[in-house]
Amino acid sequence: MATLTVEGVRKEFGATKVLHGIDLAVAEGEMIVIVGASGCGKSTLLRIVAGLETATAGRIVIGGADVTRREPKDRDIAMVFQNYALYPHMSVFDNMAYGLKIRGLPKAEITVRVQQAADLLGLGALLARRPRQLSGGQRQRVAMGRAIVREPKLFLFDEPLSNLDAKLRVAMRAEIKRLQRRLGVTSLYVTHDQVEAMTLGDRLVVMHEGRAEQVASPMEVWSRPANTFVAGFIGAPAMNFLAATLAPGGELASLKAGGSIAFIDGRRPLPDGTALILGIRPEHVTVGGEAALPLKVDLVEPLGAESLVHGALPSGEELTVRLSGTSPFPGTILPVTIPPMLLHVFEAGTGRRVDGLYEGRRAAQPASVAKAAADR
């Protein structure tokens, strides 16, 4: 095992800036998942760590050693690719053993290492087969086995499950997590799939346009997103966003959709009139209540035990609600309420999270209801 430190890494391809100064410290045995949409720079960052790309600026330190200028073979890493990268003319055994043979390890040690990895991955009966005789999941296991036998300081995964079908992806995701926990090898895992990111990572690096928007545990990213990009990217379906404005004097913000938000704790770190974006996840929106807003239902997606209801508020803003049980029909009006404790507040101009307004004591209600509550 080893630590990994990424210090101020930037990457430019000519005039195109791909990475804008990435800093990351990975502890021994930690599984870090880099997640983001296509083109955000996550694979470029992984390739720089691997030595397959050269950073324009910054340093890569593995196990305390600066490897920024070292060749990939001298970094003591193992990489698992999206396309498996297996030699079609070699058996499973030879594919897994090839890197060890190149390094000149004794034949007996190679056999032991390959057999141990094969047993770990359930490949013991497949060692004589060629890649074309294997399923996609089995090929991916071989690719992981080839990485495991090297006993590297660092595992790098570049979207290894993207070529698998949905059911197999779920099974392989669980298998990768079990393996990483058992082996305890420091790992970087790149994916565009937020479910993979949430379930695999000890911490997430959420990237957008070459910047690390947030580095935190999966649950912190989900419950306290740093900005509107992270809030909208993590979570399925995506978080709803509603426009609001801090009202002058008092403790209210006016919703564009109607009604007001009461800041119960009275703290107002931003000036009156500041434009806000209020976020609420679909599963946190409730139906009914005195403070309900009318949602005109446009589309219902039945998912079995629950449904996703999509509609529009009087302001024209779209809102998605996750409901269990009976769902409304398109064209009907559904009264929806924003629960007080589950809002997220962002500054409209920058998209940054605003803390201190009503952390843990949030309320969404018309001004009349807020006044009545204050009178009590």
Give the E-state strand segments of 181-222 in sequence order. 186-191, 203-208, 211-216
Give the pLDDT of residue 252.
67
Peptide bond into 237 cis (omega under 30): yes
Give the E-state strand segments of 220-343 in sequence order. 240-246, 252-255, 260-263, 275-280, 286-287, 293-302, 306-312, 318-324, 333-337
Give the pLDDT of residue 255.
83
DSSP state of 359: T
Give the pLDDT of residue 251.
60
Regions of the chain where pLDDT drops below 50: 250, 358-376
Give the pLDDT of residue 313.
95
CA separation for the pair 199, 212 (Å, rounded): 19
Contacts of 267 (CB under 8 A, 6+ apart): 356, 357, 358
Give the pLDDT of residue 116.
92
CA separation for the pair 187, 29 (Å, rounded): 7
HSE of 336, CA atoms in CB hemisphere, 13 A: 30
Q: Are strands 203-208 and 211-216 parallel, antiparallel or unpaired?
A: antiparallel
Give the pLDDT of residue 243.
93
Give the pLDDT of residue 291.
76
Give the pLDDT of residue 340.
63
304 phi/psi in degrees, rounded to 5: 100, -100
Total Cβ atoms within 10 A of residue 138: 18
| Tokens found for residue 127 | 């060692």
User: What is 273-294 written as a DSSP string?
Assistant: T-EEEEEE-GGG-EE--TTPEE
State how far the alpha carbon of 261 is from the alpha carbons of 51, 58, 85, 106, 112, in Å: 51, 45, 55, 70, 65
283 phi/psi in degrees, rounded to 5: -75, -10
Contacts of 371 (CB under 8 A, 6+ apart): none
Pick from 284, 271, 296, 262: nearest CA to 369 = 262
- In CATH, the number for domain 237-375 is 2.40.50.140
Give the pLDDT of residue 269.
60
For helices 136-148 and 92-102, give the axis angle rounded to 10 degrees. 20
CB 101 within 8 A of CB 150: no
Element (H, E) at 108: helix 107-121
- In CATH, the number for domain 4-232 is 3.40.50.300
CB 16 within 8 A of CB 172: no
Give the pLDDT of residue 304.
86
Domain chopping of the chain, boundaries: 4-232, 237-375
